[in-house]
Structure 1
Amino acid sequence: MKSHAGPRNLITDVAGLKVGNAQDDQLKSGVTVLIPDKPAVAAVQVLGGAPGTRETDAMAPHNTVQEFHGLVLSGGSAFGLDAASGAQAAMREQGIGIEVAGHRVPVVPAAILFDLANGGNKDWGLYPPYREMGYQAARSVGLDFGLGSVGAGTGALTAGLKGGLGSASTVLPNGVTVGALVAANPLGSVTMGDTHHFWASPFELEDEFGGHGLPSPVPADAAQIRYKYHALNAATTIGVIATDAVLTKAETKRLAVAAHDGFVRSIWPAHTPGDGDLVFGMATGAKEIVPDFPMMMDLAAVAASTMARAIARAVYFATPAKDDVFPTWSQRFG
């Protein structure tokens, strides 16, 4: 029996996870929130040169907090960090959080991407709208959610194409599932040269992003470096890799490290000084399977391939909107 995509081909195929989105189409930005049914082990790995984060220090394996109540991906650059406050308020309202001296405190790490220069109206007045979108996204979590130009991927861009929100899942032969959720907004490109072929094509399952495979021969311009623009701290791909296996905090961090290879397999170039590339890892333990060393090897490999697929799906499912600065993949190639 081979590995295969889960029934939804979403991160919510990982038992114990739900996702919610909120966005403002005039703003061309939005928020995505992931909430586990029960507090879950989580960690983080940052490899981009320009990250924007909240509560990530708590995720270090040697620090006290071992389980987390949610994760937030947001547009808006540094303004988008407000989204975690809204998500936290929604969780506290539902009684979610650590009990500390009679107070309920949800621990909700967050990461942001830069989508300010995408043609949207950013004249929001005194306070940015991300806190409210974070609240809306947290209140709307479920098993099914949209991909492409939604949530944190609403205003995402790549080199020459719209980016978006992507997700994918892989079920291993023993029933353990690995899922990826990503807001793809890199400085680099997700397609090979001027072709419609995705860099992630070797990992595609069941024609999930068109089934176009790799070009033959490889185009002469495939290795040409393409950026959407040359600017400081002006991009970022942020994501979550999750499993329903039982992992320690250190093993969950190793899963996040491995998932960064999915960035490299689907974006050229990745992890630049202008990208804040980050992956959160999460383990719900819902399958009650404790992996041995060979299984951890498989989980690491599948973390990379699943993330690569999710990034391609983010771009494949993007939809056009008024005042876009780049076309969607379907507009240019479909």
Structure 2
Amino acid sequence: MIPGPKNLITDIPGLKVGNAQDDVLKSGTTVLIADTPFTASVHVMGGAPGTRETDLLAPDKSVARIDAITLSGGSAYGLDACSGVSDALRECGRGFRVADAVIPIVPGAIIFDLLNGGQKNWAENPYRALGRAAFEAASDSFALGTAGAGTGALTAMLKGGLGSASLVLDDGTTVGALVAANPMGSVTTPGDRHFWAAPFEIGTEFGGVGPDPNAGLGRGFESRKMQSMQTQATERANTSIAIVATDADLTKAQCQRMAIAAHDGIARAVVPAHSPGDGDLVFSVSTGARPLTNPEQDLTRIGHAAALCLSRAIARAIYLATPAKGDLLPSWSAIPGNS
């Protein structure tokens, strides 16, 4: 397996991603769309998720294909970004048809970034407009790091961000991941240089500094995020929300299995992960372009690749985050000795 040409989820043909953010707000939105409706499912492992339309993605529910997925900052307010995406899709004539009605299906999830130092005293919820702007910006190339839904993200020790990565399997199947990384846990080992995901890095995609040579790691828990926010609310002010995707032709049930497997990618890149205060969830997407030849073996490989992509995407999100005015936490690049 090797990364795709862009090392982005949009290496999967037909997928596009759009970002919109407000740097004063220190928040933003990211949307994934496709040329045609796609099969999708979801799996939640965090204890504090914030979601929209996820029940429809269960394998036994009636809607077979959806039109977009939205990742957003803003906690519960950010779910309104899905409405902005729905408005734009409806104007394009896209959605689930019931007689003369057109109903775009746009599941979404949010991260909590309300206490990150940005100005949140809006008079009107800004996320509907950010959702529309992200839809209109959708392309096969997009920014990572301090961008879109990752604009105001924070990890335990460093700025979070938006990340993506891809892999092309030996049979030509492409798998990719997209993540807004805002976890309670750390993405780097003590000292803020080495990434927990380092064993899965390909080339120098997140700095090439390699694994931490120390052993016995992970037993302590330090959090600049909690200290900076100075409130017990930070126990629920976290989440890594992700999308994994493939061009393999998967059913909703197979998509759900891919999402379950991909959660390993969060656990390999964030310590600790899947806590009661995280809303960790993974959406999974199939564009259906490539038939499976051996469903069980193919799905195993696709799930494994999805987990690898998600670990790398999380590390890339933090590695590519950039400093901004009013930040509560430093970016990885601002730590002395990191380069």
Normalised-by-shorter TM-score class: over 0.9
CA distance in 1, matches of 2:201, 2:211: 10
Q: Retained in 2: the 8 A contact 1:52–1:112?
A: yes
- Deviation string, structure 1 residues 190-248 (Cα, Å, up to 9, x no partner): 00122411000111112100111112233x55432234325342111100000000001
Q: CA deviation digits over 1:60-100, x for unaligned, max 9?
A: 10010010100000000000000000001111111111111
Which of 309, 312, 328 aligns to 1:325? It is 328
Equivalent positions of 1:3-18 (< 5 A) are 3-18=1-16
**Counterpart contact for 1:181–1:240, Cα < 8 Å:** yes
Residue 146 of structure 2 is aligned to residue 149 of structure 1 = yes
2:220 is the counterpart of 1:217 = no
What amino acid maps onto 2:5 in structure 1? P
1:101: how far off? 1.6
Question: For residue 205 of structure 1, what is the aligned residue in structure 2?
Answer: 202
Distance 1:312 1:291, change over 3 A: farther
Deviation track 1:90-130 (CA, whole Å, cap 9, x = no partner) reads 111111111112011110000000001111000111x2100
Report matched runs for 1:1-334 at 5 Å.
3-125=1-123, 127-218=124-215, 221-227=217-223, 228-229=225-226, 230=232, 231-332=234-335, 333-334=338-339
Pick closer, same or farther for the CA change 1:107–1:320 going to 2, 3 Å: same
Return the offset for 1:291: 4.6
Q: Does the Cα contact within 8 Å between 2:218 and 2:271 map onto a contact in 1?
A: no
The answer to whether the Cα contact below 8 Å between 1:194 and 1:221 also exists between their aligned partners in 2 is no
Give, in whole Å, the separation in 2 of the partners of 1:245 and 1:291: 11
Supply the distance in 1 between the matched residues of 2:211 and 2:217 (Cα, whole angstroms). 14
Aligned amino acid, residue 87 of structure 1: V
- CA distance in 1 between partners of 2:222 and 2:60 (Å): 39
For the residues of structure 2 that align with 1:289 and 1:24, how far apart are their CA atoms?
A: 42
- Mapped to 2, the partners of 1:24 and 1:53 lie a distance apart of 22
Q: How many residues align?
A: 330
Separation in structure 2 between the aligned mates of residue 37 and residue 226 of structure 1, nearest angstrom: 44
SS in 2 for 1:244: strand
Which whole-Å CA distance do the structure 1 matches of 2:173 and 2:217 have between them?
A: 39
Q: Percent identity?
A: 55
Letter in 2 for 1:69: D
Q: Tell me the amino acid that sits aligned with residue 237 of structure 2.
A: A
CA distance in 1, matches of 2:115, 2:319: 21
How far apart, CA to CA, are the structure 1 residues paired with 2:222 and 2:311?
19
The code of the aligned residue for 1:48 comes to G
3-state SS of 1:273 partner: coil
> CA separation in 2, counterparts of 1:319 and 1:140?
21
CA contact 2:41–2:284 (8 Å) conserved in 1 = yes
CA distance in 2 between partners of 1:316 and 1:217 (Å): 21
In structure 2, C-alpha distance between the alignment counterparts of 1:19 and 1:210, rounded to whole Å: 24
* RMSD over aligned Cα atoms: 1.1
1:290 Cα deviation from its structure 2 partner:
5.0
* CA 1:30–1:200: 2 relative to 1, 3 Å: same
Change over 3 Å in CA distance of 1:290–1:140 after alignment to 2: farther
Q: Hey, what's the Cα distance between the residues in 2 that align with 1:195 and 1:274?
A: 22
